[in-house]
Amino acid sequence: MKKTSLSDIARQLGVSKTLVSLVLNGKAKEHRISDEMSNKVKKLAKELNYKPNQIAKGLRTGRTNTIGLIIADIANPFFGKLGREIEKEAAAHGYRIVFCSSDENPDNSQKQIEMLQQGQVDGFIIAPPAGSENQILSLKRNKIPFVLIDRNFPDIDTNYIVVDNIQAAFEATDHLVKQGYSKIACVTLNVHLNNMNQRVLGYKQALIENNIPVDEELIKMMPFTHEKDDIAEAVKQLEPGNKSKVEAIFFATSKLGIMGLETLHSLGLHIPGDIAVVSFDDPDAYKISQPPVSAIAQPLQEIGRESVKVLLDMIHDRNAETKKIVLKAKFIPRKSSGF
């Protein structure tokens, strides 16, 4: 049972496939096709269960109704949830999502973008890994529609949707201070991404504003290929028993936070009694953790929606001016910071 094509319908009705195409694309009126013929076509199309071949359509029109989503890792709940929101908004506009996980590796994202660029997607939503500036520039140069999410490159004029990382990190750290902690450590990624830099910046600003000296010893930069052992090592150095007398830790990502908590627990430390914890991002894990973890929740739905909208704007008008959207993240104090 072969799929029915435009020509099949046209042949059976003894008309041209152009006519059939026009009718089924709702351009009948515009092209003065008689209602009688219109109805005949529609009826037969339904009978034969005609479904247009999107590939053929794509070849002719140059549009695929598909968005390429390049993120670090779909298995990471942050990106998973974000992906879901993007999928939802895209579907609402008749778009599909093909996703690629880059593992924060620019070589991967490079290959993935190249692969999808061969006429398969109308545009990209990208969380660009560090070192992928040239890829982004190349997209821009070729006028490929795209929008960055989660992080952006300040030196490149592009669309982007991010959160105010400085303010969010500030708020979380400030909260720790207000809760009475002053020896506050920061565990972050040793990676040149502006969102990460800004999180550390917000952390520092909060300390400074509260007249607490910034101790670089207390800022642990993890290699971005971080494994559990790395975090364990870093966290152990921050153990309150040590000379540094750390009282609280600010984790700059949920992956760091989750691994860090595992270590803290395995050390038998009581949270927040022995050490308090706050973290960027708000995975389910933090809600059921005992105690629940104070977290910075990003507005995933809004990020998802806006990124799709901005991208579609760009697709429809490649010369549209770039949109730079900075959203507010929400700090949720929980028991892990003595709240």
Partner DNA sequence: GCAATTTGCTAAAACGGTAAATCCAAAAAT
Partner DNA sequence: ATTTTTGGATTTACCGTTTTAGCAAATTGC
Q: Is 114 in the site for its own copies (CB under 8 A)?
A: yes
Contact 75/105 with Cβ under 8 angstroms? Answer: no
- Helix count and strand count (H, E) for the chain: 13, 12
Q: Is 37 in the site for DNA (CB under 7 A)?
A: yes
What are the E-state strand segments in 240-275? 248-251
Quick one: which segment of 98-106, 122-130, 160-168, 325-333 binds its own copies (CB under 8 A)? 98-106
201 binds, among its own copies, DNA, none (CB under 5 to 8 A by kind): none
């109704």: which residue's tokens?
65
162, β-bridge pairs: 326
Q: How far is the CB of 53 from DNA (least distance, A)?
A: 3
Q: Is 18 in the site for its own copies (CB under 8 A)?
A: no
Contact 26/83 with Cβ under 8 angstroms? Answer: no
- CA angle 61/140/317 to nearest 5° reads 45
Q: How far is the CB of 219 from its own copies (least distance, A)?
A: 23
Q: Is 258 in the site for its own copies (CB under 8 A)?
A: yes
Q: Is 262 in the site for its own copies (CB under 8 A)?
A: yes
Q: Is 237 in the site for DNA (CB under 7 A)?
A: no
């020509």: which residue's tokens?
7
Instruction: Copy the structure tokens of residue 300.
Output: 């995933």
Distance CA 6, CA 17 (A): 6
Q: Is 313 in the site for its own copies (CB under 8 A)?
A: no
Q: Is 44 in the site for DNA (CB under 7 A)?
A: no
Q: How far is the CB of 51 from DNA (least distance, A)?
A: 7
Site residues (vs DNA, CB under 7 A): 3, 5-7, 14-19, 21-22, 24-25, 31-34, 36-37, 50-53, 56-57, 59-61
